[in-house]
Structure formats: C-alpha cells, structure tokens
Chains A and B, each alone.
Chain A
C-alpha cells in the first residue's frame, strides 16, 4: 500500500513521514547514512578507492602521466578531476555527452580541490618547464542515491592518499628521462576536505539526503570542512535559509567530517 501512496502522492507521503519526525528510510533528521571506504580497488590505476555513502557509490581511479607543464606555471603539475554519471547510475541519464549535472559536479570537485589546497601542485613538478606529473582523477558514479559530492570527495581523497608515483630521473641537457617503477613514493596530501550535503524541506533540515529527498526538497546546501576550517559553502539557489540554519549546518558538518576522516585513516591503517 505504501508503495502506491508514495508514487501517487510523493510530496504528501514525504510530509507525513516528516510530521512524525522520521524520514522515509527510517532515519532521524540529523542521522547520516553508513559510509564505506575501500582502498586499492583498481589494481591497474596508480591510486584508487571506492566510497559508498548509503547506496550512492562512487569509484575513483587516478592515472599518472608525464607531461610538460604550462608556460604560465612552469613549476606545477596537474590534477584533473572528472565526474562521470553514466546511465548505469540512474534512470535519469542517457548515454551521450556529459550532462549538465556531471559538468557541474566536475567543477565543484575541482573547486573543492583548489580551495582546500590539499595537494601542492608544485610537488608534482619534476623539472621546471620540462617535466611534471599529470594526475587524471576519474570519478565514476555506479549508483546515484543523493549526496553525490559527498561520495565523490571521500572517494577522491582516499584515492589521492593511496597514489604512489615511481621515481623519475630527468637529465635536461639530453632531454632524457628514466622511470624507476620499483621505487615508488606516496603523494604528500596535506589535509582531507570532507563534504556534507543538507536538504531543506518545509523548514526541516535533513542531513545526507537520498535522491528522493533531494528531488522533493526545495533547497540544497553543500559544506566542505577541512581541519576545523571551512573551505566551501555552496548553496546554488532554491528556497531561503536563515543565518542560524546555515550555521547549524556548518556545525553538523564539522562533526561529521571528523568521523569520516577517522574512517579513511582506519582504512589506511588496516592495509
């Protein structure tokens, strides 16, 4: 019966649940879904991880290539994230060029990386103006059930921390490079930004929304925290938030960030 009710009156179904201070999936308003992190999932990549936030699953593979730095930034390498939302992850998507949502997610992840300064691009440079590493971080969503950015950031950070790069010897006079695959070094990732998404529905704030909740909600906000500092507060429109509500979200996301950071650390210790 409740299935039919949900399909016929989605908003009323949702509102009835919230009136009883419970969400359709049985969670409380401030309760987030279980998080799973798996490291080194792809053996052919230079670094990889799978992150699950509830049912939302994102796999991240990082491939390192040697390239020439840009003339404007001769002593920096590259880190290029790309978020893909294939038809596999949701019935909303069709095969073809990247959708707007995928492009926006790619830009948000790139902004988060830049803002948090978690990886100094100068450490990717091998020889100024001649040789540097270019890291391609491909994030593929396998199942989309809300809070995409949260899952992307967890997968990306776990994958970045697991990257090991081979040692490279470069002789600028001869333009000769030698790659020593045996001798591998980890990247120096200085901090771990963690994203938390909130949805607002009828003045109620729901942490870590599912895709149904995201679609019904009137407004979304994503907050990224790193080491007690904020590095991204993104609310792309929708209905209004008061200052208190927003600050409450900031507080909640700080709490959740410490938990997720611990999860990633524990995963590394278990290796």
Chain B
C-alpha cells in the first residue's frame, strides 16, 4: 500500500545510485549531460499548453482580465504566475494548499520571467491609471518524476507565447472588448525567452547531472537552477542544498546550459508556429485531436503481444460488424469511439486505418526504450517497423 506521506529515499537506493554514478552511468541510461525528451502540445483555447519532459507532465493555461493598474506602475499591465502541485502528480501533494516546494517553485519562475522583464508589460496597458490587462498563468503539475521546474518554465513560456488576448477599442469613455470572432486576437509581446535549466550536484561537484529524475533529485547534495534566454544572458541563478561548489564549476555548467537553452527556445517557437499554421489552415487543433492518443515513442511493446493483440482484434472486428457503434484502436491503450455512420463501407475504412496506425511507428528508427509500464519491466529493442500488409 502506498502512503499519503512522501516516500523517503532509502540508503540502498542512494548507494546504488552513487555506485552507478561512479561508473559514469545513470539509472535511465542517459549520459550526464543528456536531457529527457521534450514534447509540447497545445489546447484549443489560446494559451493552453501541455508539456512533458520525460514522464514529468505539466499543464499551463494563460488567462486575462481587465484590472486597475498598481498605483506605483500606472502604465504597466500585470503578470501573475501560480503553480499548483496537483494531488494527481504525487500522493503527498495536497489540493489547494501551499507547500514549501510550491512557494519556492513559484518564486523561481517569477524570478526567471517577471524579474527579467521578459514580457512587455507596457503593451498590456489600455488606459493609464485606469485599465490594464492582467495576465495570469496557472501551471498545474500532473505527474512528478523529477525536475518540475524546467518542465513548468517551458510550459509557462510556451503558454505565454501561444496566448492571444481579445482586442480592445476605446470609444470615448467606453471600452469595447471584441470577441475572438469579431477581431483577430493579439499576441503578447515577449522581449526574450528565459528558460530554467536544472542540474543535480553530487559529491561537491564531482558529478553534475542534467535534468535530474525523481530519485536523482532526492539524493543530490544540491540543485543548481540556471535561468537563461536565447541571447545567452543569465536571468536567474539558484543554488539550493548543501554542496560547496567552486565558482568555476558554476561557470562551466552555465556555459553547458546555454546550448540547451537555445534548443528549448527553438522548440517552443517551432511548436507555437506549427500550431498557429494549423489554425490558419482551419485544421482541428486541441487536446482532443487524434494525435494525442497516439504515442510517438513506443514504450515496452514487445512484438509478440502485437501479434496476439492483432489476432484478438481481428476476431473482435468480425464479431463487431453488426454492432451499431464502432470502436477504433489507435494505439496500445488508446481507443477511439467514432459515431455510427450510415455507410457501412466507411466504417470498415476507418477500421483499416486504425490497423495502419498500429503498425506505423512515427519514429521508425532503431530505438532502445526503457519500459515505463509497471507490469512489463524489461528492456525491449525494436527494429524499424514496417507495414505488415
């Protein structure tokens, strides 16, 4: 039975981890400077973004409302950042209560984006001293597998970049807020893109691991978080923990982080651009689209089960033919229920498509993946998969 309390890291685990590190290995097979795969998805609403960094998953949503500006800054908009440690992410997270961790994460994100003046707040002003836009970024952590901060900072930045606010025009004394249909919404002006990059430090700087996992995070002596933007400028630097670190190590880590920052920022820009293009083409966008129910990487799927599954399914389909509804398998563990169509032939077409989806793996490279499913805990090597037909 798992516990509501936070599970502590045992000495055994810690010793094993240290032993692996002394052999220059990490438990998940990454090299010391390697980051977990990053994936960004956007929702239907503007500013809704889902980011996964390995198995750490975060949802960010930007929203806006009109407020009176602060009297100390009458011509500037307001940016609020709020991170929520959802009870979904880990059993010891409590709903609606601030913990030490959430306050710390919130402050670091604020430091990185707000204090570095990444968002142009003056452009959010509608009328000096009276009305300004207040942007709010809500970040919900969905799955905690280490390094929430990096994942949250990417999600926040992607969400802010993706967000569009409604247009406002001034008619004498009255302000008219135009709906998204009436006028094209306005994107937020972002001067530079700062992202957080975290390293775990062991043995006073002997081992420095990029993008630590939950276990690495828990057993590290210290964590070094570096906020960097695309111009290789440092926006935040935070060293927490109990390691004595030589300044030269910090500097060399920062220079390592710059190349990662460029990659991440490019990825954010690229994904937002791709999403905007899709919207312009009036393609359906959002979390409900089929792509999200497919896995781009194959996790722990042995070829044998594929075949058995397929046989089973073929039988099922024959049986299912007279059924009024139609359920389609997109991928392992992903099923889609498509409404009934009058044309029976079409129903079969959809079925065939689904079979294709099963066979085509989106990245047909040779992949070695660590299994994440708890039931099947061994390593499987998959070769390039071809369409069977």
Contacts and interface: CB of A to CB of B under 8 A. Distances in A.
Interface of A: 71, 129
A129 B174 CA distance: 10
Contacts of B66: 71
Nearest to B65: A71
Contacts of B174: 129
B179 to A, nearest CB: 11
Nearest to B176: A71
Contacts, number: 3
Interface string B171-194: 000100100000000000000000
Interface residues of B, number: 3
Nearest to B66: A71
A71 B66 CA distance: 10
A84 to B, nearest CB: 21
3 contacts: A71-B66, A71-B177, A129-B174
A188 B66 CA distance: 34
A138 B209 CA distance: 58
Nearest to B174: A129
Interface in B47-71: 66
A100 to B, nearest CB: 12
Contacts of A129: 174
A212 B174 CA distance: 57
A131 B255 CA distance: 60
A69 B235 CA distance: 43
Contacts of A71: 66, 177
A129 B177 CA distance: 14
B387 to A, nearest CB: 47
A114 to B, nearest CB: 23
Contacts of B177: 71
Nearest to A72: B177
Closest 3 CB pairs of A and B: A71-B177, A71-B66, A129-B174
A230 B177 CA distance: 37
A71 B168 CA distance: 13
A71 B175 CA distance: 10
B351 to A, nearest CB: 35
A103 to B, nearest CB: 13
A74 to B, nearest CB: 10
A172 B317 CA distance: 70
A159 to B, nearest CB: 32
A258 B349 CA distance: 57
A270 B177 CA distance: 51
B208 to A, nearest CB: 46
B300 to A, nearest CB: 36
A55 B242 CA distance: 63
B287 to A, nearest CB: 26
A71 B131 CA distance: 13
Nearest to A129: B174
Nearest to B175: A71
A235 B70 CA distance: 46
Interface string B147-176: 000000000000000000000000000100
A8 B174 CA distance: 69
A15 B66 CA distance: 59
A185 B66 CA distance: 35
A106 B243 CA distance: 53
Interface in B129-155: none
A129 B66 CA distance: 15
A71 B65 CA distance: 11
A71 B177 CA distance: 9
A129 B175 CA distance: 11
A211 to B, nearest CB: 28
B344 to A, nearest CB: 32
B48 to A, nearest CB: 21
B178 to A, nearest CB: 13
A58 B140 CA distance: 39
A129 B171 CA distance: 15
A71 B174 CA distance: 11
A163 to B, nearest CB: 31
B264 to A, nearest CB: 38
B355 to A, nearest CB: 38
A45 B174 CA distance: 35
B293 to A, nearest CB: 29
A6 to B, nearest CB: 35
A73 B40 CA distance: 36
A263 B177 CA distance: 48
A87 B174 CA distance: 48
A169 B177 CA distance: 29
A129 B176 CA distance: 12
